[in-house]
Structure 1
Amino acid sequence: MRNILLLLSLLILISCGEQTLPKPKAYLSLQYPNLGYNILNQNTPYTFDVAKSATIKKLPKNWLKIKYPALKASIDITYRPINNNLKELLVEAEKLVLEHTVKADHISWRDYADSDKKVYGKMCEISGNAASQIQFHVTDSTNHFLKGSLFFYTKPNYDSILPAVEYIKKDMIQMLETLKWKE
């Protein structure tokens, strides 16, 4: 019995060498291209600045897909001419945002208006694991309606994609601020 106690005491003393410490948190080291813009060079009823690092795919009906291959993301631009249906277009745009409330932690709206260029609308930020984190819609109230939505080609994990969302958000704000309707 004495030998067993002596052996246990010896094992306890030997095992109490180094103290185990938790590993420090690791942070992603993401590299984003420098911000720089070109004017959209497409045959569309609108124009705005687009990030130099993005690629543009023209779609039917004056729609666009602005791709960010390095970030595995895109901004989907939809255009609709107004034909006495502005109210329906606005309701549809806001309804699409509200569909994200199931996964969203918070939705914030910001009005946008530039009366000199006749650009009026809203930008919406959706925090949480929603399919789209930023959306906007703008109109001139008489002829044009444009909607933009940010999507990632991955299952949404808001904490992981937040830096990329913030990076692309700057580009979306640039789009709104430089948007011009072609007459």
Structure 2
Amino acid sequence: MIKKIIAFSIIISATFLNFSCKNEVLPKPSSYLRLDYPEAKYMSFENECPYTFEMNSDAIIKKETDCGFTITYPKMKATIYLTYKPVTKNINELLRDAQKLTYEHVIKADDILEQPYLNSDKKVYGMFYQVEGNAATNAQFYATDSTKNFITASVYFYAKPNYDSIMPAASYIQNDMRRLMETLKWK
């Protein structure tokens, strides 16, 4: 009986020694999906409307109504909606509507950064809004010459708003929207 107890104790001890001598197990660090997009190449977009601009050559542009356009990014499942309105002594109303559209996202947004844009040479004045958080849109802008022309633009993704997940695509398209705004010319 004592021999069985000693043999059992040796087997248990050997088992513990065998498994306890391994290296310490460390958890793997979190991994993140890396989304790289090609460097943007811009082309001039001419049309019969009273304005022109530069846009990403990888995007698809489609005319809607009254000099409004949709600029689609199929790989990113996103669309920029560009709306044109003539100014007919209603500049204050147009400005109020553009600002109201942006601030409707304040419920879901963590922060809204306003970046004024002034180009006196081209007579383009406006505001670029960068919306952070899980809002429906991550970027919007309006631009005007304050006498004849008024344009608004906003980007929407065809996905549930999750700021962390769409951040690379949102940053890429925000750069395109800034380029569009900065190259805007009135005819």
Fold shared per TM-score above 0.5: yes
Shift of residue 34, structure 1, vs aligned partner: 2.0
Indicate which of 49, 55, 59 corresponds to 1:44: 49
TM alignment of 1:68-107, pairs within 5 A: 68-107=73-112
Within 5 Å, which residues of 2 pair with 1:3-152? 13-16=17-20, 17-152=22-157
Matched AA of 1:51: N
**CA 1:115–1:6 in structure 2 vs 1: closer, same or farther (change >3 Å)?**
same
- Identify if the C-alpha distance between structure 1 residues 120 and 4 changes in structure 2 by more than 3 Å, giving closer, same or farther: farther
The alignment covers a number of residue pairs equal to 182
Runs of 4+ aligned residues of structure 1 deviating over 4 Å after TM superposition are 1-15
The match for 2:173 among 168, 174, 181 is 168
Following superposition, the deviation at residue 27 of structure 1 comes to 2.5
Cα deviation for residue 98 of structure 1 reads 0.6
% identical equivalent positions: 46
Computed over aligned residues only, the root mean square deviation of the Cα atoms, in angstroms, reads: 2.0
Q: Of the two, which has the highest radius of gyration?
A: 2
Moved more, 123-132 or 31-40: 31-40
Q: Which runs of 5+ in 1 are unaligned?
A: none
Quickly say closer, same or farther: Cα 1:12–1:83, change in 2 above 3 A. Answer: farther
Cα deviation code 1:48-73 (max 9, x no counterpart): 00101100011011111101111111
Q: Partner residue of 1:180?
A: 185
Q: 1:33 Cα deviation (Å)? A: 2.0
Cα drift, residue 164 of structure 1: 1.2
TM-score, length-scaled by structure 1: 0.90
With normalisation by structure 2, the TM-score equals: 0.88
AA of the residue aligned to 1:118: K
Instruction: Give the direction of change, closer, same or farther, for the CA distance of 1:7–1:90 in structure 2 (3 Å limit).
Output: farther
